[in-house]
Homo-oligomer: A and B are copies of this chain.
Amino acid sequence: MKPTIKDIAKEAHVSVTTVSRVLSNKNNSNSDKTSKKVRKIAQQLGYRKNTSAVELVTRTSNVLAVILTATHTNFSDEIIAGIQDQAYKNGLDVIISYAGENNAHRQFQSIKTIIERSVKGILLLALELDEKSRQLLIQSKIPYVFLSLANDKKMPFISSNDFQIGYQATKYLIDKGHKKIGLAGLDDKSFMGKQRISGYKKALSDNKLKLDSEWITTGLFTYQDGLNSMKHYGKRPQVTGVVANSDLVGVGILNQARKFGVKVPRDLAIISIDGTGLCQIVHPQLTSITQSFYEMGINGVNFLLNSKEPRRLSKFTSIKIEEREST
């Protein structure tokens, strides 16, 4: 049987109270001698705290939960790194749960499991919640924050400003002299997609450029969507520049362009949104609007730690343009 504080208490001829105080570092009130003795015996017995018991009695837990989709958002690693680092600094543990992809049931299950562990906070990564899961989450009263995906439901989030992303990316190509600019691979049903489209349109109209709705291709930010977009633009592309809505889309466009014999950047300029490592290992390297994913993770944790009462939050992290070889 695994040793408990009772065993230690017996061995050390003290009460469990004393053992508990020593082992949870309330050392302001125990003598050095006793502390040392208790710690030594705990060590000898190979004692491990039972977290369930602690959480039960203290009614708190020092765990942050991250929920993400399995959809291969290749930037989630960066966000998670930020979360982990910041959590670690604050003595918190992190547990991660994959909610399947677009599987409402699994999503619900995942959130339910998390809630039943009464974690300290929940970070939702690039996750679009269906209504039922959303109710569950709100009802739980556990602080939460969406990362990387904003939303229009008045739920707290930290993300890039997607209007700005759409605007800046487009503006960048305009400044390079392009007049026919595509926007590829985004989900025009999502809040994020709408924002980017608005930014894109605004940049065009601000510069007195007309827009052809054929230039916008929809999708779910995947590699395949990139290929499809390029096929749509054609061998003699109807656009001279394109804003790829994820790095994978960018690479897809790039590869299909190569197949078509369309030279990048000579015949087609590409600017890719995200700026993950992928941009640098393809050829030509992709110019990108780089998001501050790591920072999103950091900020997300900070927000949860300071939110005693549920409060509103809409925070944008910075974006920057990194020019590489595709423009």
Interface residues of A (CB under 8 A from B): 2, 46, 48-53, 55-56, 61, 70, 72-73, 77, 80-81, 84, 88, 93-98, 100, 106, 109, 112-113, 115-118, 139-141, 223, 248, 251-252, 255, 258, 277, 281-283
Contacts and interface: CB of A to CB of B under 8 A. Distances in A.
A96 B96 contact: yes
A83 to B, nearest CB: 9
A112 to B, nearest CB: 8
A117 B72 contact: no
Contacts of A283: 255, 258, 282-283
A48 B98 CA distance: 21
A318 B82 CA distance: 35
- Give the oligomeric copy count: 2
Contacts of A52: 51-53, 55-56, 61, 117-118
Given A52-B118, A116-B49, A139-B46, A81 B70 contact: yes
A52 to B, nearest CB: 4
Given A72-B77, A98-B94, A117 B51 contact: yes
Contacts of A117: 51-52
Contacts of A72: 77, 277
